[in-house]
Amino acid sequence: MGQLNTPIAVVGAGPAGLIAADVLSARGLAVTVYDRMPSPGRKLLMAGRGGLNLTHSEDFDSFMSRYGVAAPRLAPILKAFPPKALIAWAEALGQETFVGSSGRVFPKAMKASPLLRALLARLTAQGVTFRMRHEWCGWNADGDLLFRVGSEDISVHADATILALGGASWPRLGSNGAWTEILARRGIAVTPLAPANGGFLVTWSDPFRTAFAGQPLKGAAFSFAGRMVRGEAMVTRYGLEGGAVYALSAALRDAIAANGNATLDIDLRPDLPLADVIAKLSRPARGQSLSNTLRKALHLAPVAVNLLREAHGVRLPAEPEALARCIKSVPLTLIATAPIDRAISTAGGLALSELDDDLMLRAMPGVYAAGEMLDWEAPTGGYLLTACFATGVATAKAVIQSLARST
C-alpha cells in the first residue's frame, strides 16, 4: 500500500469541494482534491445544461425559508456567504450574471463549462493538486485516509480533511452515496438518503402512456397539503416529473412514505374561476366531439383532455357544471417516488447534530463535511447550489482558523 502526505485533503470535486479548495489555496495552503471520477465538476456541468441556476435574488428571509427544518442551522453559514457573495465569486471568475424573470440568477453564458474552466484554471494557478480516479474507502487504524486507485490501495495522511461527497442522485456523475456506510460503521448518524426534487410513479393506462409519454402539461396548477404551485410538468412512461412537481416533492414523498400513496390535485385551467369554465362549456357546440369542445372552448391540449379521462373515467360528464368541476380538480394518485438516481438532488445525509458550528465532525476532530452530503434539502431555484458553495466556504474558513491556532 502506498503512503502519501498532504496538508489538506478535499474529498469530492463537486461545487462544495472545489470552492473549499479555492478558498484554502488562495491563502497559500497546500490542497489536494480527490475524486473517484476521471474529471472534476461533472454534476455541475449537468446542472449547467438547464442554464446553471446559481442562486436566487429574493430577500434573505424568504431565501432562508426554502431550507425548511435545516434553515436555523444553515442561516449563519448562508449569512457569511449569501447569494450576493456567490454572484461576486462567479463574476470574479469572469462569469457575468443576470436575474431572470422568476428572480433566479444565471451566468450570462447560460452554462457551467466557462465557470468550471475558469475555476479549475485558478485552482491550478494556486497550486491545487488533483487526484482523479481515487475512490475514497474511509480511514485506516492510524486515521489516514484510504483510497482505491485501480487495483491499488493507498493511504493519505492529512492535517485536515474536508468531505464533500454529494448525495446519491445521478450516481454516474460521481455521487453514489457509498460514504453513508463508511460513516455509519464509525457510529456517525446518517439519515437515509431519499430522492428530492424528483418525479413520482403513476399507474397510467397503456393507451395514455403510449400516446403521451414525453409531453408537457402546461399552464396548470398543482396542489397538495394546502400548497399550490403554478407551472409545468412532464408526463413520463413511469409517471410525472417537472418543476411544479419538484416544488411539492418533499411533502409528496413524505406522504407516500407514511400512507403508501399521495393524491396530487391538478387544476387544468387555474386562470379561470369555476363559473367561467361552466359558462364556456355551456355555449352550444353542435356536432362537436367532447375533445373538440374542450380544445376550442378551453384550449386544452390532447394530453390534458386524456389526463381528465385517466382521473375521472373515459366517459366524462356531459353536463357543463360537472365537467367544469372535473377540469378544475384532477386527482392523480402517486404511488411511489421515482428512483433516487433520477432525482435532481437528495434528502437525508450526515446528521447536522454530528457536526459542530464549524461543520467539523464531533467524533473526528480535523474532519469537516460540506455540500449535499449534509442532511438538508431545498427546492430548485438556486437554493441547492448556493448552500453547497456556502458550506464549502464555511469548512475552508474553519480549516484556516484551526491551522492558524495550531501554529
* 166-202: pLDDT as tens digits: 999 989 999 999 999 999 999 999 999 999 999 999 9
C-alpha cell at 79: 449569512
Residue tagged 433516487 (cell numbers)? 340
C-alpha cell at 326: 372535473
pLDDT of amino acid 85: 98
Decide: 8 and 29 in contact? Cβ < 8 Å: yes
The answer to whether residue 97 scores a pLDDT higher than 90 is yes
Mean of pLDDT over the chain: 95
The answer to whether residue 147 scores a pLDDT higher than 80 is yes
pLDDT band at 251 (very low <50, low <70, confident <90, very high): very high
pLDDT of amino acid 288: 78
pLDDT of amino acid 212: 98
Which residues does 322 contact at the CB level (< 8 Å), separation at least 6? none
Provide the CA 227 distance to its chain's centre, in angstroms: 20
* Cα 112 to Cα 64: distance, rounded to the nearest angstrom: 24
* Cα 52 to Cα 190: distance, rounded to the nearest angstrom: 29
The answer to whether residue 225 scores a pLDDT higher than 90 is yes
Provide the CA 372 distance to its chain's centre, in angstroms: 8
pLDDT band at 133 (very low <50, low <70, confident <90, very high): very high
The answer to whether residue 114 scores a pLDDT higher than 70 is yes
* Cα distances (Å, whole numbers) of residue 165 to 12, 155, 293, 373: 5, 18, 54, 6
Question: For the chain, which domains are there?
Answer: 2-195+347-406 (3.50.50.60), 200-337 (no CATH)
* Cα 184 to Cα 110: distance, rounded to the nearest angstrom: 39
Beta strands, E only, 142-236: 145-149, 152-163, 190-196, 200-201, 216-224, 227-235
* Cα 140 to Cα 137: distance, rounded to the nearest angstrom: 9
* Cα 111 to Cα 123: distance, rounded to the nearest angstrom: 20
Q: What percent of the chain has pLDDT over 90?
A: 92
The answer to whether residue 206 scores a pLDDT higher than 70 is yes
Question: Which of 170, 167, 169 lies closest to 180, judged by CA?
Answer: 167
* Cα 94 to Cα 109: distance, rounded to the nearest angstrom: 10
The answer to whether residue 4 scores a pLDDT higher than 60 is no
Q: pLDDT of 19-43, one tens digit each? A: 999 999 999 999 999 999 999 999 9
Q: pLDDT of 253-305, one tens digit each? A: 999 999 999 999 999 999 999 999 999 999 877 767 888 889 999 999 999 99
Provide the CA 106 distance to its chain's centre, in angstroms: 16
267: enclosing H helix or E strand: strand 262-267
Residue 141 gets the label, from left (phi > 0), alpha (psi -120 to 50) or beta, of: alpha
Q: pLDDT of 326-354, one tens digit each? A: 999 999 999 999 999 989 999 999 999 99
* Cα 40 to Cα 116: distance, rounded to the nearest angstrom: 9
Q: pLDDT of 356-405, one tens digit each? A: 999 999 999 999 999 999 999 999 999 999 999 999 999 999 999 999 88
